[in-house]
Amino acid sequence: MNFEINMVNDIAVIRLYGELDHHAAEKIRTQISKTILQGNLHTIIWNLERLNFMDSSGIGLILGRMRELGAVNGQTIILNPSSTMKKIFQFSGLSKFVMEGNEEEAILHARGIVNG
């Protein structure tokens, strides 16, 4: 599992590659939670375009960061999940956060919601 976190002002774009399991989720959680708690982050865009597999720890990772962002009225965008992952997000109540497109479109969407 590889991941990248790219900060664009108060927006974190997290790109996930390969398979997201418990160990990888813990690494990402530690890194991104610190940024949220410092008050420097208001939006997370989870780019899942290159993610092949995600177990329940991936859902937990996203839900946990959503709760943390709730303290600062933040938002979450789940970008380009596979069709299988879309079904998982539907069953978990997260489908309203799913978006198709590129990262630039997601950033503009987030800025419109957060600042508009």
The CATH fold assigned to 2-115 is: Transcription Regulator spoIIAA (3.30.750)
Whole-prediction pTM: 0.91
Over residues 82-104, mean pLDDT: 94
d(CA 35, CA 56): 23
pLDDT tens, 31-81?
A: 888 888 888 899 999 999 999 999 899 999 999 999 999 888 899 999 999
- Comparing 71 with 29, the larger pLDDT belongs to 29
Give me the count of residues in the chain: 116
Instruction: Reduce the DSSP state of residue 106 to 3 states and report it.
Output: helix
As to burial, measured by CB atoms within 10 angstroms (0-12 exposed, 13-18 middle, 19+ buried), residue 93 is: exposed
Is residue 114's pLDDT more than 50?
A: no
